[in-house]
C-alpha cells in the first residue's frame, strides 16, 4: 500500500505561516466563475487597466534586442539609475547606486528587509489595520510582530502609540503610506513626529510606498525625507505594480543604507537571482517617462471611490473616504452578529463567505487585516461592476436578521 499523500511532515515554519486571505478570496471567486457562477470580485488588489502601451513597447524592444538572460542580482543598470532619479525627483531622496536593489515585486523587497533586520527574539511593530502579509513576514523571519492599534485620526499611527509599542527588543517599524487596507495617507507633520520617535529609539523603518501614485486628496511624503535623522535608518520600498498596472511584471525595488541593501541582495542571490530582465527594461521606461495613463487611472479610481462610498452610505454602512489607494474599509459591526435564513453570521469572515456564496460578490473580511467587523472592498474594477456589486450587497443586507 502506498503511503498517504500527507505522510511527509512539514517544517514548523511551513505550519506556522497563514495563507494570504486576499489571495484565498480571490481564488474562491475565480473558482466559482469557472463553475459558471456570476461573480463580481472586489477582493483583489490589482488594477483592472492594461499596462500602458508605451511600457509594453519598451518590453518588446528589450525582447527584440535579445534581453532574455539573467540580469544582475541588484538589477540592470538603467533600472537602478531610473529608480535613483525617480526617488530624487518625486521624494527628494538621494541614493548612490549601491543603495538600490531591484526585486521580484515590492512584496519580496519588504520580506527581504524584514529578514535582514529582525530574527529570533526581535520585535517588529506593525500598525493595525495592516496588509495581511506584514505579520506573516515577521513570523517567517523568526521575529515577533507587535501590533500597534491606530487612533481615530483616519486609521493612522501616532507618535504616542508608537512609543508605547516600543520595547528593548524592537528592531523595526513597518509603515505603509498610502495604506492597504485603509487608504490612510500620512502628512509630513505626522511622519516627522513618528520619525523622531524612531530616531530617538534607534529602530529602523521599512517604508512601503507602493501606492504612492494613487493619491486623491493630499500629497504623498516619504518618511525617509521627513528628517535627516531618519534618512540612514529607513528602507524605502516601492515598485511598478500599482502605479503602472504592472502586477504580473513583478518589479519592485528598495533603497536604503548600503549595508542593509547589500544583505538583502545576498539573500535574493540565493533565492531568485534576479527579477525578469525584459520586465526591468519596461520598468525603467515607466519610471523615466511617467506615462499619462497614470493620471487617467487615478482619476478613474477617484470616481469609483466616490460611487462605492456613496452606495455604502445609502445602505447605512459606515466607511471613511480613503484619500489614497483603491481600497476602502466598510464597517459592518452594527450588522453583527446576524443571521440569514438558518445560517448564523457571527463575524465579518462568515459575512464575506455568505456574501460570495449567495450574492456573488467577493470581498475580504477585515480580521486578517487586524480590522475585525469590517470588510475591505477594492474599487479597482469598472463603475458598472461596482454598481451591480453594491446593489447585490444592499439586497444581501436587507435579508439579514
pLDDT digit string (tens) for 126-142? 999 999 999 999 999 99
Are residues 125 and 265 both part of a single domain?
A: yes
Domain that holds residue 95: 67-289
pLDDT at 205: 98
Q: What are 287-332's pLDDT values in tens digits? A: 999 999 999 999 999 999 999 999 999 999 999 899 999 999 999 9
- Nearest residue to 173 via CA among 96, 235, 241: 235
Q: Examine residue 60 and state whether it is found in any structural domain, yes or no.
A: no
Cell numbers found for residue 368? 486578517
In this structure, the chain runs to a length of 401
Spatial separation of the C-alpha atoms in residues 130 and 149, rounded to whole Å: 10
DSSP β-bridge partners for residue 338 = 345
Are residues 45 and 119 both part of a single domain?
A: no
| 351: Cα within 13 Å, side-chain hemisphere | 28
* Residue-by-residue pLDDT tens, the chain, 401 positions: 667 777 889 998 888 888 787 778 788 888 888 999 999 999 988 999 999 999 999 999 999 999 999 999 999 999 999 999 999 999 999 999 999 999 999 999 999 999 999 999 999 999 999 999 999 999 999 999 999 988 777 899 999 999 999 999 999 999 999 999 999 999 999 999 999 999 999 999 999 999 999 999 999 999 999 999 999 999 999 999 999 999 999 999 999 999 999 999 999 999 999 999 999 999 999 999 999 999 999 999 999 999 999 999 999 999 989 999 999 999 999 999 999 999 999 999 999 999 999 999 999 999 999 999 999 999 999 999 999 999 999 999 999 98
Are residues 29 and 116 both part of a single domain?
A: no
Are residues 323 and 198 both part of a single domain?
A: no
Torsion of Cα atoms, 151 then 129 then 308 then 216, to 10°: 70
Are residues 264 and 367 both part of a single domain?
A: no
* Helices and strands: H and E segment counts in the chain: 14, 15
pLDDT at 1: 62
Spatial separation of the C-alpha atoms in residues 94 and 225, rounded to whole Å: 10
Q: Where among 235, 255, 289 does a domain terminate?
A: 289
Q: What is the DSSP letter of 254?
A: E
CATH of the domain at 379: 3.90.1150.10
Q: Examine residue 349 and state whether it is found in any structural domain, yes or no.
A: yes
Q: Examine residue 3 and state whether it is found in any structural domain, yes or no.
A: no
> Which stretches of 236-332 are DSSP H helices?
258-271, 277-289, 293-314
Spatial separation of the C-alpha atoms in residues 60 and 130, rounded to whole Å: 37
Q: Examine residue 61 and state whether it is found in any structural domain, yes or no.
A: no
Are residues 137 and 166 both part of a single domain?
A: yes
DSSP β-bridge partners for residue 246 = none
CATH of the domain at 282: 3.40.640.10
pLDDT at 350: 96
Are residues 208 and 254 both part of a single domain?
A: yes
Q: How many CB atoms lie within 10 A of CB 146?
A: 18
Are residues 297 and 282 both part of a single domain?
A: no
Are residues 183 and 376 in contact, defined by beta-carbon separation less than 8 angstroms? no
DSSP β-bridge partners for residue 324 = 215
Spatial separation of the C-alpha atoms in residues 189 and 184, rounded to whole Å: 14
**What is the DSSP annotation of 92-137?**
-----GGGEEEESSHHHHHHHHHHHH--TT-EEEEEES--THHHHH
Are residues 42 and 102 both part of a single domain?
A: no
Q: Examine residue 300 and state whether it is found in any structural domain, yes or no.
A: yes
Q: Examine residue 103 and state whether it is found in any structural domain, yes or no.
A: yes
Are residues 118 and 265 both part of a single domain?
A: yes
Q: Where among 289, 318, 337 does a domain terminate?
A: 289
Q: Where among 231, 264, 289 does a domain terminate?
A: 289
- In the chain, how many domains are there? 2
Are residues 253 and 244 in contact, defined by beta-carbon separation less than 8 angstroms? no
Are residues 262 and 317 both part of a single domain?
A: no
3-class SS of residue 146: strand
Q: Examine residue 55 and state whether it is found in any structural domain, yes or no.
A: no
Cell numbers found for residue 74? 541588484
Q: Examine residue 7 and state whether it is found in any structural domain, yes or no.
A: no
3-class SS of residue 329: strand
Amino acid at each position: 500500500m502506498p503511503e498517504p499523500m500527507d505522510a511527509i511532515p512539514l517544517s514548523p515554519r511551513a505550519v506556522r505561516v497563514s495563507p494570504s486571505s486576499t489571495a484565498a478570496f480571490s481564488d474562491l471567486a475565480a473558482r466559482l466563475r469557472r463553475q459558471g457562477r456570476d461573480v463580481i470580485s472586489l477582493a483583489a488588489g490589482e488594477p483592472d487597466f492594461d499596462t500602458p502601451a508605451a511600457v509594453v513597447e519598451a518590453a518588446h524592444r528589450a525582447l527584440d534586442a535579445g534581453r532574455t538572460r539573467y540580469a544582475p542580482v541588484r538589477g540592470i543598470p538603467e533600472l537602478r539609475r531610473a529608480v535613483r532619479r525617480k526617488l530624487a525627483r518625486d521624494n527628494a531622496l538621494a541614493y548612490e547606486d549601491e543603495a538600490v536593489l531591484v526585486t521580484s515585486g515590492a512584496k519580496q523587497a519588504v520580506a527581504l528587509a524584514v529578514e535582514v533586520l529582525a530574527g529570533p527574539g526581535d520585535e517588529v511593530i506593525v500598525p493595525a489595520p495592516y496588509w495581511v502579509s506584514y505579520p506573516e513576514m515577521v513570523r517567517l523571519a523568526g521575529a515577533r510582530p507587535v501590533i500597534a492599534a491606530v487612533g481615530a485620526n483616519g486609521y493612522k499611527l501616532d507618535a504616542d502609540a508608537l512609543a508605547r509599542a516600543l520595547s528593548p527588543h524592537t528592531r523595526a517599524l513597518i509603515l505603509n503610506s498610502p495604506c492597504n487596507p485603509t487608504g490612510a495617507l500620512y502628512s509630513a507633520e505626522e511622519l516627522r513626529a513618528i520619525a523622531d520617535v524612531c530616531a530617538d529609539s534607534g529602530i529602523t523603518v521599512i517604508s512601503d510606498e507602493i501606492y504612492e501614485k494613487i493619491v486623491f486628496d493630499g500629497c504623498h511624503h516619504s518618511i525617509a525625507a521627513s528628517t535627516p535623522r531618519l534618512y540612514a535608518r529607513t528602507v524605502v520600498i516601492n515598485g511598478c505594480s500599482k502605479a503602472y498596472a504592472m502586477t504580473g511584471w513583478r518589479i519592485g525595488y528598495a533603497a536604503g543604507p548600503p549595508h542593509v541593501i547589500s544583505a538583502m541582495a545576498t539573500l535574493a542571490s540565493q533565492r531568485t537571482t534576479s527579477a525578469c530582465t525584459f520586465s526591468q527594461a519596461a520598468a525603467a521606461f515607466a519610471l523615466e517617462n511617467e506615462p499619462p495613463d497614470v493620471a487617467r487611472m487615478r482619476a478613474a479610481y477617484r470616481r469609483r471611490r466616490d460611487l462605492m462610498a456613496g452606495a455604502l452610505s445609502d445602505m447605512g454602512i459606515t466607511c471613511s473616504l480613503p484619500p489614497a489607494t483603491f481600497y476602502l474599509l466598510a464597517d459592518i459591526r452594527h450588522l453583527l452578529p446576524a443571521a440569514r435564513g438558518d445560517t448564523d453570521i457571527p463575524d465579518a469572515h462568515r459575512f464575506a463567505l455568505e456574501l460570495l456564496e449567495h450574492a456573488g460578490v467577493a470581498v475580504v473580511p477585515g480580521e486578517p487585516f487586524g480590522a475585525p467587523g469590517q470588510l475591505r472592498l477594492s474599487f479597482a474594477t469598472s463603475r458598472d461592476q461596482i454598481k451591480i456589486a453594491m446593489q447585490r450587497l444592499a439586497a444581501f443586507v436587507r435579508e439579514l436578521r
